[in-house]
Amino acid sequence: MAGAGPGRPAPLGQTPSQTLGPFFGMLLGRPGDANMADESVAGERIRVTGVVFDGHGAPIEDGLVEVWQANSAGRYRHPVDDRDDLPLLDGFTGFGRCPTDHPTGSWSVVTLRPGQVPDGRGGLQAPHLNLVLQARGMLDPVFTRVYFDDELSNDDDLVLAGVPEQRRHTLVASRGDDVDGLATFHLDLHVQGEHETVFFDV
């Protein structure tokens, strides 16, 4: 291993995860990080909100929700997504993050409704956000997805189909009243308990 030497054991495996603790807000999830798309970006702007709950039903008021998604044309801003026939959109990275609110545990991002991306099995996935949730008291991140309840393509999504039917609803955000002219979807995240969100082994 390059760089190995006295006092420097060569790394031989993954570095363990640790909790981000209560003080990450000095750096991660600062103002503006949750506004993923302003008016100038092409596509339908939407708001996605929710509350994060612990196993006692109490809000997790010091968590961090991170979003990764394709743009409205269904393309990821990433070197692996080399489909140059689809546009990359100026001003849209597809990444956002929002600390959960103290003391309500709520989070909210304004973003683009994502397009469909290939499932690698000849079909297309339903539009979805990829979510990473961390908090004080969580030693590892958890990974989940947010689907949208007004998308007919949910019925054909292979990832949703791989989730036990009685738990699928934990991944589907419900459209409510528009807020500030934006279609607004709501999905609570339950880290533990009766309504526990489906977390994926990404």
User: In the range 91-150, which residues lie near another protein by CB under 8 A?
Assistant: 93-95, 117-122, 125, 128, 130, 132, 134-143, 145
Q: Which of residues 57-86 bind another protein (CB under 8 A)?
A: 58, 60, 62, 66, 68, 70, 76-83
Distance (Å, whole) CA 188 – CA 23: 23
Least Å distance, CB 110 to another protein, is 17
Sole residue written with tokens 């528009």: 178
Q: Which of residues 3-22 bind another protein (CB under 8 A)?
A: 3, 5, 7-9, 11-22
Q: Which of residues 23-42 bind another protein (CB under 8 A)?
A: 23-28
Least Å distance, CB 177 to another protein, is 29
Within a 10 A sphere around the Cβ of 190, how many other Cβ atoms?
17
Q: Pattern of binders to another protein over 39-58, x per CB under 8 A?
A: ---------------xxx-x
Angle at 202 between CA 172 and CA 154, to 5 degrees: 25
Contact criterion met (CB below 8 Å) for 148 and 173: yes
Distance (Å, whole) CA 62 – CA 173: 22
Q: Residues touching another protein: how many (CB under 8 A)?
A: 80
Please state, in angstroms and as integers, the Cα–Cα distance from residue 122 to each residue in 69, 118, 133, following that order: 20, 7, 30
Least Å distance, CB 49 to another protein, is 20
